[in-house]
Amino acid sequence: MTRYAMAIDQRRCIGCHSCSVACRTWNDLPMDIIYNPVLGGVVEGEWPNVHRNYVPTLCMHCKNPECVPCCPTGASQQDEDGVVWVDYKKCMGCKVCVNACPYGMRDTSHTVRRFDEYVRKCTFCKERREMEPDKDPYCVQTCHQKARIFGDIDDPNSAISRLINRSDTFRLLEELGTDPQIYYIPALGGKR
Amino acid sequence: MDKVTYQKENMNPQYPHHYWEYPIAIYLFLGGLGGGILFLSWVLSAFVFPGIDLTQAFMLPNFVALIAIAIGLFFLVFELGQPPVFYRAYVTATSIIKWGAVLLTIASFGDLFWLLGNWSPATPVLGFLSVFNFLGGLSGIWLAAAGISGFGIMVYTGVMLSTLKAHAFWSTPALPVLFTISALSTACAGIMLLMGGWPGVAADMHAAHAVHELLHTCDIVLVIAEITVLMIMVLSFLGAGNRTQQRVAKRWVKGSTAPIFWVGMIGIGLVIPLICNCSGVAGLATLASILVLCGGCLLRFLCVWSDDRQPLPDENRYYFRLKTADPRFMTEWYKEGKDLERGQTWAPKENLF
């Protein structure tokens, strides 16, 4: 079965924020919403092996998402391929899922008209992939460093599977048991 | 060679904003208060004083409970992003919010039917409402439904927060216990203030006095229990919690919210009412009830504001830089965003950059 995931290669990321800009443009986001902030930028390591470490983030599309079962309207859903998304027609903007997400990757806009707020989040560009199935999410396509690799993690021949299998990876806040599907390949030769 | 690490631990620890604001705190307080009053009035009527008619004594407290739940629900709906479609909350079976909505609905209607069934209109003008008198025959059922749902509401307000394990300070079994004790304590205070105050038919003062005495004793026990649970929760977070829990507990004990915690919640909300209640002076007991209500409200506000999430790597630094690197630019940026949403034409401001 298809199971979408993303690998983020920190060795390649230079913190240019192209992915953030691409996402904002494609999704036509309000001013105060960002789906994929590029965190970090701290210098780590010991001289001469130092590296400016960026942590590009987005919704982790967890296998055990906290944000889906808590939704009182059923707007927050997870597809069989693992993509977590919000049905805007069902959302009433109660922000329970926003509070439930341990990664802070959901939000409502504070600049849109009152009474027309709903929860927004990354969907791995679900609508775009439905129209053009062979296309990657916009942030992946835009990353000129090829630091973001998207694909089916259940397919052993996919690029993401092969990359994750041969690399030392970590995931954010793994201890919470949400089983996030964004894998980070750390900089500094795989040492965290 | 020293490790080269650029950390900004002392930067602003706040996230972009609180996702839930003051309406949720008010809702949690009023929901707990209303639920507690309904639960206590049912338990006292049905089990503690089964042979005594306490209907008139509980008319005003149960009316205020209905108003409290209604106002709380108003704030809850007001906080929604899309208030006109609040009815969607009843859809799913798994969500705890859905069960909260169901409990609030049952409690409200149970209480409303109980009030209408037991209300004897004093003036002929309102006599047409006697059509509801048939509800009086099922008075016990309405009160039981409201009381059981009221207990559910008291527990639910704490459970709702404690299930959100993204927020370390909420995600503890102690929080539902604390909220339930606080709801019972505020309900005791509310009933003692309001009991027998319904205009018209006089309540059985002897029975009302007995209930008052019992609630007075209960409130002393509940306030002691609340202080104990609260201190255990906060101090255990401070001493043995994870980094996020420690940060919030530190803020409560000796940080920015310490004055509200020590003076407002512990001092004015719990210790002074305890002293007043133990003093045996009638006037001070009334003051104690008012202060307990204030303390319960402060508890909800402090808890809702303690929604710190475990930060991702350098998340604080990212949002700190975004907000404060160029405050003037950010102000104008947000303003232009709002103008654009309203359909106004965007025009660059001179000298902005």
pLDDT tens track for B296-347: 999 999 999 998 888 888 887 777 666 565 666 666 666 655 555 555 444 4
Task: Judge whether residue B6 has pLDDT over 60.
Answer: no
Measured between its terminal Cα atoms, the distance across chain A in Å is: 32
> What pLDDT shows up at residue B339?
56
Structural domains in chain A (count) = 1
List chain A residues with CB under 8 Å of B22.
Answer: none
> What pLDDT shows up at residue B134?
67
Query: How distant, in Å, are the alpha carbons of A110, A116, B143, B341, B342 from that of B337?
Result: 10, 15, 51, 6, 9
CATH number at A166 reads 3.30.70.20
> What pLDDT shows up at residue B8?
34
> What pLDDT shows up at residue B71?
96
pLDDT tens track for A120-130: 999 999 988 88
> What pLDDT shows up at residue B116?
85
Is residue B197 a contact partner of residue B205, using CB atoms and an 8 Å limit?
A: no
Q: What is the mean pLDDT of chain A?
A: 89
Range of the domain at A99: 4-185
> What pLDDT shows up at residue B346?
44
Q: Provide the residue ranges of all domains of chain B, joining segments of one domain with +.
A: 22-122+129-309
Beta pairing, strands A106-108 & A119-121: antiparallel
Task: Judge whether residue A147 has pLDDT over 50.
Answer: yes
Query: How distant, in Å, are the alpha carbons of B22, B64, B66, B295 from that of B72?
Result: 11, 12, 10, 17
Q: What is the mean pLDDT of chain B?
A: 84
CB contact under 8 A, B4 and A104: no
CB hemisphere CA count around B125 (13 angstroms):
1
Angle between helix axes B96-118 and B55-79 (nearest 10 degrees) is 140
Domain annotation covers residue A192: no
Does B343 or A164 have the greater pLDDT score? A164
> What pLDDT shows up at residue A105?
92
pLDDT tens track for B102-128: 999 999 999 999 988 887 655 455 555
Query: What confidence tier does A16 reach under pLDDT thresholds 50, 70, 90?
Result: very high
Report the alpha-carbon distance of residue A5 to residue A150 in Å, rounded: 6
Chain A nearest CA to B231, separation (Å): 25
pLDDT tens track for A91-101: 999 999 999 99
Which three-class secondary structure state does DSSP give residue A46? strand
CB contact under 8 A, A93 and B17: no
Domain annotation covers residue A191: no
Query: What confidence tier does A111 reach under pLDDT thresholds 50, 70, 90?
Result: low
Smallest CA–CA distance from A112 into chain B, residue: B341
Chain A nearest CA to B97, separation (Å): 6
List chain B residues with CB under 8 Å of A15.
Answer: none
> What's the rounded mean pLDDT across residues A49-67?
91
Write the single-letter amino acid at B161: L
**Which percentage of chain A shows pLDDT scores above 90?**
67
> What pLDDT shows up at residue B201?
62
Residues with Cβ within 8 Å of B254's Cβ and at least 6 positions away in sequence, in order, are none
CB contact under 8 A, B1 and A41: no
A-contacting residues in B 96-115 (Cβ below 8 Å): 96-98, 101
Two structure tokens written together for A27 = 């999704």
List chain B residues with CB under 8 Å of A73.
Answer: 88-89, 91-92
Task: Judge whether residue B205 has pLDDT over 90.
Answer: no
Hey, is the C-beta of B3 within 8 angstroms of any chain A C-beta? Answer: yes
Instruction: Select from A32, A93, A94 the Cβ nearest to the Cβ of B97.
Output: A94
DSSP assignment of A162-188? HHHHHS--B-TTGGGS---SEEEE-TT
pTM over 0.80: yes
CB contact under 8 A, B15 and A111: no
Query: What confidence tier does B13 reach under pLDDT thresholds 50, 70, 90?
Result: very low
Task: Judge whether residue A49 has pLDDT over 90.
Answer: no
CATH 1.20.1630.10 is right for the domain spanning B22-122+129-309: yes
Least Cα distance to A38 among B5, B315, B166 occurs for B315
Residues with Cβ within 8 Å of B239's Cβ and at least 6 positions away in sequence, in order, are none
Q: Which of A15-19, B58-62, B202-206, B276-280 has the lowest mean pLDDT?
A: B202-206
Residue of B96, B161, B314 for testing the chain A interface, max A β-carbons within 10 Å? B314
Does B16 or B280 have the greater pLDDT score? B280
Chain B nearest CA to A157, separation (Å): 31
> What pLDDT shows up at residue B260?
94
> What pLDDT shows up at residue B252?
95
Angle between helix axes B327-341 and B315-324 (nearest 10 degrees) is 80
> What pLDDT shows up at residue A163?
93
Which DSSP letter does residue A25 get?
H
Which DSSP letter does residue A111 get?
S
Domain annotation covers residue A157: yes
Instruction: Select from A53, A92, A99 the Cβ nearest to the Cβ of B20.
Output: A99
> What pLDDT shows up at residue A33?
83
